[in-house]
Amino acid sequence: MKRIISRILIILLIILPTACTSTTNKKNTSGDVINPAPTGEKQELTILFDAIGEINLWNENIAYTNYKSDFEKAYGVKVKLEALSPYTDFTPDFYMKRTSEYNEKLAAKLYLKNGPELIYKRFFFPQESPSIKKAIVNVKGKIKNLEKIYDAFLVNDLYYIPISVTVPCLELQKKVLIDLGIKKTIINWNKANYIKVRKQWAVTKPLFTFSELTDIISSYMDNITLFDGNQVRINTPEMKACISAIRKEIWSGNYKLDKNYTYKNYYNMIFDDTSDEFKKGMIQMQSMEYNEKCLFTPNSENALNTKFTSDRFNYGNMLTLQPFTIGKIDKLYSAFMVNKNGKNLELAYAFINGLLSKKTQLAIFMASRISESQSFYPVSKEIEGDIKTLESKEKLSPKAITLKESVLNQIKNERVLKPYFKNEKEERIYSSWYGDILQFIFADTPYTDAELTKALQILEDKYTVLLNE
């Protein structure tokens, strides 16, 4: 018996390492697919996508839906859209749960040897986990029309293939600014300019909703670098000063705060859209008092969409680039990833190639003129001239053109699109810290320096381990 078992073990040990070689697609040493070889039968191209509730993010853009049906006709194939783990709320708990659920579902799909070909990502979604990244193709040099996109996208390896770009701008209420004696805003405001105006505005005793809260937190916190190589830096004098400054501004007596609110209420107000606090905040934001007095509108326009920014400049609000979020938003564009184990990779490359063609990119631009919800800007530098010609016929505000040129130059100079986070873990830590900071801001009695040092050190250690894992 002993001999039999030992023989079985030896055979297993010999067989297992040989199983390490792939049996399906032939790959070179870099792991890229060389010969995907589509089959002769009626083919299917599958696109996995993120979904918010029941909304199909692909169908929100008319240019995308039209392209899909054109592609199906031209290639005689079926393009199948499949949603993964829809977002139902945006609490950190749900976010973490959903992230792991999404990763598991995506992984299960990517494990299949003849799996889906493409994964579509919207601009605000997080980076993929390192394991998922190993399942996607570096497409640099594999798709012809990639050479037509802005060079800023092509600096490093290309795992996320950009299709369109969105850069939200800061939209300030003209009436409120005039009341404050500010006659004009400057495109490319810096943070100090903005905070100064906000403090001036706060004296008018505005309502305090999650919009103001997140604005105050991010305007101070985004100035601080959390990462120093492999070390997370939270327990620092800068962070303590930041917490203190946020507390000071919120409790300055200017904002109309609910006296009965504790840390838990404020936490719910921001993150739990099923809570009473959140609902109350929403009602406040829809009120006449809030809308007349608020400094900025939360749903701002794409700075690259001159059609709608021009309307704002001419008839409505003052716009400027968001002085504090640029550089922190990692995904300002909608993009595709190609699955290494996808069934019809040649078809997937053809699909993306078509999306980056002059015709489709122009269609994306034209769709952005129809409605604000389709406010995607093309990524192809090839059509810049065509866009200028089309815009010149639209009698746009010169300010809108200046704003767009400013953002476009930043894109070209790799300033806007350069990822702020090096990897998904940094992004995860940043999001988590955003929730953690609330316990210090809304503590009933402020933390003493010793207490704060201790609490921040615990978080710093925790995040450092996460970062280094």
Partner 1 sequence: MNKYISLKLTKKYRTIRYMKLNLFILPSLIGFLILYLVPFLWGIKYSFSLSGFDNTFVGLDNYKSLLSNRAFHIAMKNTAMFMGIAIPLIMVLSFALALAIFEFKFPKLIYLFILIPMAIPSASVVGFFRKLMDNGNFSLMNSQYAMIGVILIFIWKNTGYNLIIYLVGLMQIDHSFIEVSKLDGANFLQILWHIIIPLCTPTTVFVGIVSIVNSFKVFKDVYILQGNYPNMHIYMLQHFMNNKFVDLEYEKLTSAAFIFALIIFVFVFLLFYFDNRYKRKVGE
Using rule CB under 8 A, residue 145 touches partner 1? no
Shortest Å distance, C-beta 430 to partner 1 = 15
For residues 82 and 461, what is the distance between their CA atoms, to the nearest angstrom?
39
The string over 248-261, giving b where at least 16 C-beta atoms fall within 10 Å of a residue's C-beta and e elsewhere, is ebbeeebbeeeeee
Q: Which of residues 344-403 bind partner 1 (CB under 8 A)?
A: none
The nearer residue to partner 1, 121 or 404, going by C-beta atoms, is 121
Q: How many helical (H) and strand (E) elements, i.e. helices and strands, does the chain have?
A: 19, 11
How many residues contact partner 1, by CB under 8 A?
40
DSSP state of 374: G
For residues 315 and 301, what is the distance between their CA atoms, to the nearest angstrom?
14
What are all long-range contacts of 446-454, with beta carbons under 8 Å and residues at least 24 apart? 446/247, 449/240, 452/240, 452/243, 453/235, 453/240
**Among 187, 197, 144, 142, CA closest to 167:** 187
Using rule CB under 8 A, residue 186 touches partner 1? no
DSSP element (H, E) containing 165: strand 161-165
Using rule CB under 8 A, residue 453 touches partner 1? no
Return the structure tokens found at 90: 């945006």
Shortest Å distance, C-beta 444 to partner 1 = 14
Shortest Å distance, C-beta 129 to partner 1 = 5
Q: Can you tell me which of 6, 59, 66, 100 binds partner 1, judged by CB under 8 A?
A: 100
Shortest Å distance, C-beta 1 to partner 1 = 5
The nearer residue to partner 1, 20 or 288, going by C-beta atoms, is 20
Using rule CB under 8 A, residue 288 touches partner 1? no
Q: Can you tell me which of 191, 279, 381, 462 binds partner 1, judged by CB under 8 A?
A: 462
The nearer residue to partner 1, 23 or 286, going by C-beta atoms, is 23
Q: Which of residues 120-139 bind partner 1 (CB under 8 A)?
A: 129-132, 134-135
Do residues 195 and 296 make contact, with C-beta atoms less than 8 angstroms apart? no
Using rule CB under 8 A, residue 234 touches partner 1? no
Using rule CB under 8 A, residue 341 touches partner 1? yes
Using rule CB under 8 A, residue 465 touches partner 1? yes
The nearer residue to partner 1, 32 or 70, going by C-beta atoms, is 32
Do residues 218 and 325 make contact, with C-beta atoms less than 8 angstroms apart? yes
